[in-house]
Chain A
Amino acid sequence: MTEPTEETETAEPETPAEPAQEPVAVEEPMEPVALEAAAPEPAAAVEEATPPAAKPPPAVPSRRPLVKRHHGLVRLTHWANALALLGLIASGLQIYMGFPHFGDRGHRYFPNPWDGKPFPLQVRLGGWLAGGLNWHFALAWPFVLSGLFYLGYLVFSGEWRSLLFRPRDVPRAWQMQLYYLRLRREHPPQGKHNALQKMAYTSIVLLGALSALTGFAIYKPTELSWLTALFGGYQLARYWHFWAVWIFVAFTLVHVTLVFVVDPASLRAMITGWYRGRFPSHD
């Protein structure tokens, strides 16, 4: 596949047979067309803008414009974070086996469906406790650093506006939920992300922060005793750290399912940055 370079947004690499026609329609009104792509009949909009003489042959379906959706830093940190998280969870499950309980010695342990239970070898990383620890403490760096780079990018680029879930998004999230439950017919209008996505992407950043902070609280419970105390002590910090894993796992399952069910084009956008899908790429 020949991908366009990041400078030439209007290139149309997948239809080299008719080089002049589609780019003409797309070249100038880049953003309006991108926004109209979310309308029920985007094909009509493209045809309207196309001079009749340059109309493509009817056998070739008109396509949505290819637009830049994700900055390189977002894509890099997304995949770095995904890999680091995979390794952190696998090595974390190995570490868990060292003492598969939560609570001080001599006290009742906190409720945990996996209390005293081992995790299968297939999901563990490190082979033994020391191996799991070394993987975990090594991968904590890319996890935290990619998280900080990502947040830094959002702040400096202003991209946070299309991602941060705010009070005004509450009714919109409700409408979106109704749509998913088929209690509302038409897809609510949205910008780059719908309100439920904003809720998910805001929460997952908070969950990442919770994981990192509880991680530090467990790593240095004496030297960072103030942080450990904030989470209710060493054993409770371990407990929250462990539960964050299952929220991450649940998030990832839903996240990946929705990519394929709702917007498969978004996978390509997260890999190459370029998007040819049904939703706008700007608010």
Chain B
Amino acid sequence: MTDDRSFDRRDLLRLGLTAGVASLATACGWQGGPLLPALQGASRLNDWVGEKVFLSNHHLATQYPVTARTPESAFPVYAISRPALPQLTDPAGWALEVGGLVRRPVRLTLEMIQALPKVRYTVKHHCVEGWSAIATWTGAPLSSVVAMVEPTEKAQYLRFDSFDNGYSNGWDLTSAMHPQTILAYAFNDHPLGPAHGAPLRLYSPVKLGYKLTKYLTKVTFTSERHGGYWEDKGYPWLGGV
């Protein structure tokens, strides 16, 4: 060993104590305390990078053969209304209201949406929790509805509302215009059931599951960024994958 120790046992003890206190302060399920605003700021920076750097409307999600589908019993079912899944009392009276900062607001019935161009793909679904599952989704591209209503120049964001106990999501316009972002009415080639957002849900392989509003009632074009159910609680706003 060395004959001259720049660090003796006392220094070692001091270092150990400091490291111990520091690690206790950082861990223990600490959320961030006074650093929370800085974390939210970093999250907004990541939203910007996610939209401006990573997201490309020319890049399509990988498609899988239908044989790669996850068994439906293994595909998780999520809604915030519990224990009963949200269901319409009068399905025939349902229609999607599309409005806000647009020149031609419309009210679309399911038949009208099904008459729009059809997109069908089998893709991997990514949940923020870390699980993934493959399913086939069929619907109308959201971009065709955007073209129909003609948003004004002030429209920068979209807001999606549902009849799932007030669940909603705010979206960027870029992701909304992605060719694989659809208003979906079929899951694995059968009509969407209450487990997956009947009668109509938002679907896109470029977003995490919590951004894909189920049980849709309204699409609103806004100039201000709307948060959303989980986003307002602290989840990343963009949720892009």
A contact set with B: CB distance below 8 Å: 61, 63-64, 86-87, 90, 94-96, 98-99, 101, 104-106, 121-131, 133-135, 137-138, 141, 219-225, 229, 234-235, 238, 260, 263-265, 267-268, 276-278
Q: Is B71 engaged at the interface, CB distance under 8 Å to the other chain?
A: yes
Most buried by B among A61, A94, A123, A220: A220
Q: Which of B6-55 contact A (CB under 8 A)?
A: 6-7, 12, 15, 23-24, 26-32, 38-40, 42-43, 46, 50, 54-55
A105 to B236, CA, bound (A): 23
Q: Is B65 engaged at the interface, CB distance under 8 Å to the other chain?
A: no
A222 touches B206 (CB 8 A): yes
A94 to B29, CA, bound (A): 8
Contact mask B100-144 → A, CB, 8 Å, 1/0?
000000000000000000000000101111111110000000000
A225 to B64, CA, bound (A): 13
> With contacts A86-B26, A223-B55 known, is A135 near B131, CB below 8 A?
no
Q: Is B84 engaged at the interface, CB distance under 8 Å to the other chain?
A: no
Min CB distance B68 to A, Å, is 9
Which residues on the A side are within 8 Å of B70 (C-beta)? 104-106
A137 touches B42 (CB 8 A): yes
A137 to B45, CA, bound (A): 10
Which residues on the B side are within 8 Å of A90 (C-beta)? 26-27
Min CB distance B80 to A, Å, is 15
B241 touches A223 (CB 8 A): yes
B contact set with A: CB distance below 8 Å: 2-7, 12, 15, 23-24, 26-32, 38-40, 42-43, 46, 50, 54-56, 59, 61-62, 70-71, 74-76, 124, 126-134, 205-206, 230, 233-236, 240-241
Counted as pairs of residues, one from A and one from B, with CB atoms less than 8 Å apart, the total is: 150
Task: Choose among A63, A134, A222 the residue that contacts B39 (Cβ–Cβ < 8 A).
Answer: A134
Min CB distance B175 to A, Å, is 11
A124 to B234, CA, bound (A): 17
Which residues on the A side are within 8 Å of B32 (C-beta)? 126, 131, 134-135
Which residues on the A side are within 8 Å of B205 (C-beta)? 222
Task: Choose among A64, A96, A98, A276 the residue that contacts B128 (Cβ–Cβ < 8 A).
Answer: A98
Which residues on the B side are within 8 Å of A229 (C-beta)? 62
A138 touches B31 (CB 8 A): no
Which residues on the A side are within 8 Å of B133 (C-beta)? 104-106
A268 to B56, CA, bound (A): 48
Which residues on the B side are within 8 Å of A225 (C-beta)? 59, 61-62
A86 touches B43 (CB 8 A): no
A95 to B158, CA, bound (A): 29
> With contacts A63-B4, A264-B7 known, is A134 near B130, CB below 8 A?
no
